Structure 1
Amino acid sequence: MPGKILEKYEHVPVTKEDLDWAELITLDLSLYEQPGGKEELVKQLDHAVRNVGFFYVKNFNISQDEVDQQFALGREFYGLPLEEKLKYHNQTDLESGEYNGYRPAGHRILGNGIRDNVQVYNIPKFDGYHRRQQPPVLANSIKEIEAFSRKCHDEVVVKLLRLFAILLELPDEDQLVKDHQYDVKGEDHLRYMHYAARSVEENEKVGDLYSPGHTDLGSITLLFRQPVCALQILNSQGKWKWVKPQDGTITINTCDALTALTGGLIKSSVHRVHAPPPDQAHVDRLGVLYFARPNNHVVLDPIANSPVLQRLGLTSNAFTELGQHLTTEQWVKVRQTQQQRKTREAKVTKDGKYNYEQKDLEIIPGLHATIHN
């Protein structure tokens, strides 16, 4: 049955500011089923994933109405009173690495007494292993949410994984797909994310950043187009560039697990969330994202049967060099626990550099998270 009919989500106008935009490729997934189409897409993808880890996709068989319905659901959830949202938050669970459900804003002090301004609501994939009570505003549309979650996987994630398999010259085009099956236990999730606008004075105290430079921990992140500019990427020349909201696209970034599986060939993209430009600085920012990760049992060692990785000598990664052979489940647990750990606030310099105590960044002995300044 269809979910509750909500008032249509209206996107705010795009910025008119002249920003320093990143030059990113756009993969046209309508080529995917055409003769030679996958090979053509791989050629386009090769440079992006080796150097930046960011690109757009278009023609992905998810309608704008379907996307806007998810934005409307996010809007309805964040419109609830705080005490209602807090029913779906558990601080103890969060600090032990359980990230599904609600995380209120202000969970962390960024620096100079300024707390973070982001609310997060994560809905785990519908694989039968993550049963959770949802607030009525979402429960009323849960079948629709599941259909959207599965479309993110089937129409985008699966196709990209096949392109990566071709890039790696794997003998089976579905090898990576088999490690990312939707109905096998895993940590994929859909996210509604809300950044509240801050004052100029508050932004200045934290280097005009909502979130400092970081990488994501999974395989692929899907960010559905929304017009409040804030996302910036670190390009191959070490320069921060704004990511332009392109109509009819999803912004894709590759992440830590995929980097581990490819011995560093596929770059885990470095990105941050900047305060929006002046003509959007007063606007709250709502995002809809999908995070794809390998199934929980997958060991994050470099893929042994890739001729490309063998030729390049990419046979180790940050885990194996420490004698660790982490499964996805273990990696997500230790990384999420580190991310949600109560830390001292960073020392933030006037030019926006974040400096934390090393112990606050430790994931496992010998491996520390990196804050990209």
Structure 2
Amino acid sequence: MPAVTIPYVPRHVAPPTTTEDLEWADLPIVDISKARTPEGRAELAPQMHDAMRTHGFLYIVNHGLTQAQNDRIFDIADVPFTQVPEEEKLKYTSSIKDSGSYRGYKFRQLWAIEGQVHDQIEHYQFFEQEKHPDALQPLLPEIHAFAAHNHYNVLIPILQLLARGMDLPEDTFVNVHGYDSTSGYTRFMKYWPRTEEEESKTKSVWLKGHTDIGTITILWSQPISALQVMSPDGKWRWVRHVDNALVINIGDSMEMLTGGYYKATIHRVIQPPADQRNLERLTVFYFTMAKDDTKLVPFTESPKLQKEGVKRRIDDEHAPTMGEWRKGIIRSYGFTKLQRRDDKIEEEVVNGILVKHYN
């Protein structure tokens, strides 16, 4: 039987990890391969529960892709930025503020970070759109397969474990997640180095401290250190790179669906350490959302939630649907003038819900 030929793409050579002495976050590691059986999920559920209740961030290993397959995804992830002419990119972008969608390209310097300084982030997101740049066309089967792997082999076990942690039926959170163009987004993102003047004006912050829109964020670990998580003691700590691991965190929507039992975790992106400072930072995400018509109200039938007490961000009557929340945040982020509460926190209100940004 002839070997399957995969399309050629230029090799993305990953840079070495930092040698700087950084204060690393001590995040738990979960072996997701054990979640393939009911017995394995019973074993993992307490680990997932404790990790997400304590840290809100964790690593997942043994997720089913080899290091070589991981490397191939990063090769593909670089294509939208290096193999597509600028004039062609313009055909595959939308007005984010008008559409409430990140489909296709988001260009650099769109979001206000601090004063007159804007971001240096470019990204390309799948699959709300049907058409893609020519360079991506032959790669679409691999990208679709990658999205399906994230959804079925990573997300669904996580959702099952989180439900078990609240003494809910395993399919509770799975049932409000679909596999379609509005429930899971594959995003390739590149951070470009900034000038020293920009770093000074923003105190080296590239993305302010925030929580994510959706339910679960799956980040494929990469070697350039820039991501920091706010630890339980209130300190910012760096997220260390782990080869072929995934970095997982809870988002706003899961916090609302669980009545605050699992809390969205604050994180930010800052300038990399000195030995990585002038490198482009390529990242790969799978962002997940509940179905668009899901009303973001708590599953109050959870015995643990009943014991713990429900912490709502808005009353049930006025709670937004997933679609309303997603579009509201996207239309607001980086465009709305924030109200400064103190020297660390800025605020805005989206869909009647107070949203905080940590400077």
**TM bucket by the smaller chain?**
over 0.9
Amino acid across the alignment from 2:18:
T
Q: Secondary structure, in 3 states, of the residue corresponding to 2:241?
A: coil
Q: Match for 1:178 among 175, 180, 190?
A: 175
Does structure 1 residue 155 correspond to structure 2 residue 153? Answer: yes
Instruction: Supply the distance in 2 between the matched residues of 1:21 and 1:248 (Cα, whole angstroms).
Output: 18
Instruction: Supply the distance in 2 between the matched residues of 1:308 and 1:355 (Cα, whole angstroms).
Output: 31
Amino acid across the alignment from 1:193:
M
In the TM superposition, what is the alpha-carbon distance from 1:49 to its structure 2 partner?
1.0
Instruction: Supply the distance in 2 between the matched residues of 1:198 and 1:20 (Cα, whole angstroms).
Output: 23
Q: Match for 1:324 among 290, 301, 318?
A: 318
Amino acid across the alignment from 1:250:
L
Instruction: Supply the distance in 1 between the matched residues of 2:106 and 2:34 (Cα, whole angstroms).
Output: 39
Does structure 1 residue 305 correspond to structure 2 residue 305? Answer: no
Q: Secondary structure, in 3 states, of the residue corresponding to 1:371?
A: strand
In the TM superposition, what is the alpha-carbon distance from 1:48 to its structure 2 partner?
1.9
Amino acid across the alignment from 2:217:
T
Does structure 1 residue 25 correspond to structure 2 residue 20? Answer: no
Q: State the partner residue of 1:89.
A: 93
With the length of structure 2 as denominator, give the TM-score of the two structures.
0.92
Larger displacement relative to structure 2 (34-43 or 22-31) = 34-43
- 1:110–1:345 CA contact under 8 A, matched in 2: no
Amino acid across the alignment from 1:165:
A
- 1:52–1:267 CA contact under 8 A, matched in 2: no
CA RMSD in angstroms, aligned pairs only: 2.1
- Number of aligned residue pairs: 354
Does structure 1 residue 254 correspond to structure 2 residue 257? Answer: no
In the TM superposition, what is the alpha-carbon distance from 1:85 to its structure 2 partner?
1.6
Q: State the partner residue of 1:194.
A: 190
In the TM superposition, what is the alpha-carbon distance from 1:75 to its structure 2 partner?
1.3
Amino acid across the alignment from 1:260:
M
Q: State the partner residue of 2:162.
A: 164
Instruction: Supply the distance in 2 between the matched residues of 1:369 and 1:188 (Cα, whole angstroms).
Output: 22
Instruction: Supply the distance in 2 between the matched residues of 1:41 and 1:233 (Cα, whole angstroms).
Output: 23
Q: Match for 1:369 among 344, 355, 359?
A: 355
Q: Secondary structure, in 3 states, of the residue corresponding to 2:217?
A: strand
Q: Secondary structure, in 3 states, of the residue corresponding to 2:249?
A: strand
Q: State the partner residue of 2:332.
A: 338
Instruction: Supply the distance in 2 between the matched residues of 1:96 and 1:311 (Cα, whole angstroms).
Output: 41
- 1:232–1:271 CA contact under 8 A, matched in 2: yes
Instruction: Supply the distance in 2 between the matched residues of 1:201 and 1:307 (Cα, whole angstroms).
Output: 53
In the TM superposition, what is the alpha-carbon distance from 1:344 to its structure 2 partner?
4.6
Instruction: Supply the distance in 1 between the matched residues of 2:303 and 2:338 (Cα, whole angstroms).
Output: 45
Q: Match for 2:238 among 242, 260, 263?
A: 242
Amino acid across the alignment from 2:307:
R
- 1:230–1:276 CA contact under 8 A, matched in 2: yes
Q: Where do residues 249-288 of structure 1 align in structure 2 (5 Å cutoff)?
A: 249-288=245-284
CA distance 1:309–1:255, change in 2 (3 Å): same
Larger displacement relative to structure 2 (101-110 or 157-166) = 101-110
Q: Where do residues 354-365 of structure 1 align in structure 2 (5 Å cutoff)?
A: 361-365=348-352
Amino acid across the alignment from 1:240:
W
Does structure 1 residue 209 correspond to structure 2 residue 205? Answer: yes
Instruction: Supply the distance in 1 between the matched residues of 2:200 and 2:86 (Cα, whole angstroms).
Output: 27
Does structure 1 residue 226 correspond to structure 2 residue 222? Answer: yes
Amino acid across the alignment from 1:200:
E
Deviation per CA, 1:193-224, whole angstroms, max 9, x where unpaired?
11001233321110111111000010100110
Q: Where do residues 52-201 of structure 1 align in structure 2 (5 Å cutoff)?
A: 52-79=55-82, 80-91=84-95, 93-124=96-127, 130-170=128-168, 172-183=169-180, 186-201=182-197
- 2:70–2:244 CA contact under 8 A, matched in 1: no
Instruction: Supply the distance in 2 between the matched residues of 1:58 and 1:2 (Cα, whole angstroms).
Output: 28
Instruction: Supply the distance in 2 between the matched residues of 1:344 and 1:336 (Cα, whole angstroms).
Output: 14
Deviation per CA, 1:286-328, whole angstroms, max 9, x where unpaired?
10000011111211110032111112222x511226x413221
Q: State the partner residue of 1:294.
A: 290
Runs of 5+ consecutive residues of structure 1 not aligned to the other structure: 125-129
Instruction: Supply the distance in 2 between the matched residues of 1:103 and 1:284 (Cα, whole angstroms).
Output: 16
Runs of 5+ consecutive residues of structure 2 not aligned to the other structure: none
Q: Match for 2:52 among 49, 53, 63?
A: 49
CA distance 1:7–1:174, change in 2 (3 Å): same
CA distance 1:146–1:175, change in 2 (3 Å): same
Instruction: Supply the distance in 2 between the matched residues of 1:292 and 1:35 (Cα, whole angstroms).
Output: 24
- 2:100–2:328 CA contact under 8 A, matched in 1: yes
Instruction: Supply the distance in 1 between the matched residues of 2:148 and 2:167 (Cα, whole angstroms).
Output: 27
Q: Secondary structure, in 3 states, of the residue corresponding to 1:140?
A: helix
Instruction: Supply the distance in 2 between the matched residues of 1:167 and 1:363 (Cα, whole angstroms).
Output: 30
Amino acid across the alignment from 1:83:
E
Q: State the partner residue of 1:127.
A: none
